[in-house]
Structure formats: structure tokens, C-alpha cells
Amino acid sequence: MSTTLITNIGELTTNVSSPLGRSGTLTDAAVLIEGERIAWVGPASDVPALPGGYLEVDAEGRAVIPGFVDSHSHIVFGGDRAAEFEARMAGEKYAAGGIRSTVAATRGASDDELRARLRGFLDEMLAQGTTTVEIKSGYGLDVETEARLVRLAAEVTPEVTFLGAHVVPAEYADRGDEYVELVIGDMLDACAPHSKWIDVFCETGAFTVPQSRRVLEAGIARGLKPRVHASQLGPGEGVQLAIELGAASVDHGTYLSDEDVAALAASDTVLTALPGVEFSTRHPFPDARRLIDAGVTVAIACDTNPGSSFTSSMPFCIALAVREMGMTTAEAVWAATAGGAAALQRDDIGVIAPGKRADLVLLDAPTRVHLAYRPGVPLVKKVWKDGVAVR
């Protein structure tokens, strides 16, 4: 078993004993990694006596944070939609129907092409400090392609989400209810064995509340856990449905009523904000300050996808959250680490404490504040995943 001591850490974000939205930090700290787990955390002056043969990494006063937990991505797809983005920046509106053009490109791509692309995205995420990623299907929208997508995702993460109900495909135009029958029938049969989560895009232009309920309840009956895309493009009842069905997370939440906020605060459902979407679609950013002050647990994720948010950078999303969503840097870093872990109902990641997975990021900066203070600058110096230095 390998042993690594990271010492001389100027600011260590542990996320331990943190009340909602706050992050525990230690200064002049050290972390001991044994195998794939964290063995000890404390002041650099109190490191326990160690047998020889361990690796010592001198952080030289830099900051260390937990690896980012990106709890929302759509990174198995073919093609891209750069022209759509360009048109949007020139004034076009974002609409859910754009998903269909990626469906055509994805159906036409081979497994090897999709796998190479997926692994490329994972590499770029790792280089930016992401050590856990959730991956959704949703660009196949037929039984065979959706099954391919969840299988490919399951090769690289346990956090696989079946999103057959992403949009109604062109061949089912005006037959949304029939498509839902397919999703909860043959498609669910083919995808459930490779998936942990069931998701639905509950939004005008995608699926109605009754259709979304059918999809989620069918997934739950097959042992999948619910998470929901809701209130991205306008207000709706998706948030209330997600809470009623005990969803781990409701994602987007750009347009929330006071009732939605109160219901979230009274629930165990995390609100996962996706500020890359507002950046890329020119919708208003969600008001995280309002949510946190009401007692809602807020996570941040990238939502990497070719349509609404083609960034894979958690540091960029943290900078947006601080600049545009009213979060402190401490809250944004918590949301991107422990918050993501909560959205995935994981208690082994997102925290730097003995017994947790050794997923850590050494920043090339003295404090985590620099993640928002120096936007766009590559500040990730070193990454450990499961105790292995991967960057």
C-alpha cells in the first residue's frame, strides 16, 4: 500500500464540521494518504511518526481542497453545436429542441468514437480538478442507442443516469405519451442494469409534469434513484414533483417560486445550480444567496453538454457562482465538492477527513479564493484520485 504525506499546506479546505454552505479550513496543515483513503489530517507540526518509504509532497504554502464532484454532465454524444452557440450569442433563443440535432450525430457515431470522446472529456475534467463525475444518457432516444450510452458511461463512473426522457425524438413528434411508454418499457429494461439514477427533463418543450411523474415512478420501481431537470427555461411544477418523489437533486432551478424555495429548504433534495448554462444561454443566473439564506443545500455542476453548457471547468463555474449567483468563495467551493457529493448521496467523497477517499486537489494558489479571483487561469497544480497522483 502506498503512503503519501502532503505537508506545508497553507490552507486546507476539509469541509468537516461545516454548517450548510460553510467550509472548514485548517492553516499550516498536512494530509496523510494510505492506499486509496485519507489516514490522517492535522497541523503540519503534529504529523504522526511514519515508517520509511513514503512519498512526501511539499505544498509550499499552497491551498488544498477536495476533488471536485461534478454531479451533472452529458458527455456521451457525437458532434457539436458551435453554430447554434454562435447564433445564440447573436440573439437567437435557446430551446430544448436543439437536443435533437445531437441525437442524430450520436446515433451515427460508433462506440469507439463515443468512447474516445468521453475519455477526452474525462481527461480535461481531471486536469481541472474533477475527481468524480456523474454522466447521463439522453442523446440516443431509442432503445439501442440509449443502452449503448449508459454502458459506455458505466465503463468510467458508477454515477450513471438514464435520461431517455431528455426530449421527444423527431420520429415521435406529437406522440409524447407513446414515447414515454417506450422509455418506461423496453428502454428502461435495457438501461436500468447499467444505471444508478433515473432523470427527466421536466420543462415546456420536453416532458409535462404527468409524463415526468410516470418516468420517475417507473425508474424508482426498477430500483433507480430519482433526480430531475426542472425550472431551467421558465417556472414549472418540476421542483415540487422532484421533492415529492424524494429526488436526490433537482437541477437548474433558474426560475424558482417562493413555494419552491420553501419546499426545497424543508426537504432533503439538493438544488444543483448549473451556471455554465446561464452563461451560454443568456438566461438570468439562479439566485443562490436566496436559496442558501432560506436553508437550501446548493451544489454546483458543469452540465457539460454540446447545447446549453459546453464547459467542463468546475473552477469556471465557481467563478460564475461567486460573481453572478451571490455565493461566497467558501460556499461555492463547498457546493462544488461536498455539495456535489450530497447531490449524489455519497458520503465517501467531497470531504478531507480520515476514512474518506483520497481525492484531493493542490491549487497553484495560496487560498481557494483565487478560484474566483483569477477566473480562467489554470490553477490546478496536482490531483490525487483514490490516493493516486493522476496529474
Give the interface with ligand NIG as residue ranges (CB under 6 A).
74, 98-99, 102, 201, 229, 232, 277, 303, 305-309
By CB under 5 A, residue 199 contacts Fe ion: no
- Return the closest-CA partner of residue 64 out of 112, 23, 113: 23
307 binds, among Fe ion, ligand NIG, none (CB under 5 to 8 A by kind): ligand NIG
Over the range 167-188, which residues count as b (16 or more CB within 10 Å of their CB) and which as e? bbbeebeeebeebbebbbebbb
- Return the closest-CA partner of residue 353 out of 123, 35, 17: 17
Point out the residue whose Cβ comes nearest to ligand NIG: 307
Q: Which span (61-69, 291-299, 300-308, 314-322) binds Fe ion, by CB under 5 A? A: 300-308
Report the C-alpha dihedral over residues 349, 72, 345, 22, rounded to 10 degrees. 60
CB of 270 to ligand NIG, least distance (A): 16
Cβ neighbour number for residue 347 with a 10 Å cutoff: 12
* Cβ–Cβ < 8 Å for 41, 352: yes
Among 34, 199, 203, 303, binds Fe ion (CB under 5 A): 303
Angle among Cα 9, 326, 68 to the nearest 5 degrees reads 40
Q: Which is nearer to ligand NIG, 227 or 229 (CB)?
A: 229
Point out the residue whose Cβ comes nearest to Fe ion: 303
By CB under 5 A, residue 70 contacts Fe ion: no
The backbone torsions φ and ψ at residue 319, rounded to the nearest 5 degrees and listed phi first, read -60, -40
Q: Which span (6-14, 191-199, 303-311, 322-330) binds Fe ion, by CB under 5 A? A: 303-311
Burial (CB count within 10 angstroms: exposed 0-12, middle 13-18, buried 19+), residue 357: buried
201 binds, among ligand NIG, Fe ion, none (CB under 5 to 8 A by kind): ligand NIG
99 binds, among ligand NIG, Fe ion, none (CB under 5 to 8 A by kind): ligand NIG
Q: Which span (31-39, 210-218, 260-268, 298-306) binds Fe ion, by CB under 5 A? A: 298-306
Q: Which is nearer to Fe ion, 278 or 303 (CB)?
A: 303
CB of 254 to Fe ion, least distance (A): 12
Q: Which is nearer to ligand NIG, 14 or 130 (CB)?
A: 130
Return d(Cα 1, Cα 40) in angstroms, integer.
15
CB of 280 to ligand NIG, least distance (A): 9
What residues contact residue 352 under an 8 Å CB cut-off, 6+ apart?
Answer: 12, 13, 14, 15, 16, 31, 38, 41, 64, 65, 66, 360
CB of 55 to ligand NIG, least distance (A): 40
* Cβ–Cβ < 8 Å for 303, 340: no
308 binds, among Fe ion, ligand NIG, none (CB under 5 to 8 A by kind): ligand NIG
Q: Which residues bind Fe ion (CB under 5 A)?
A: 303
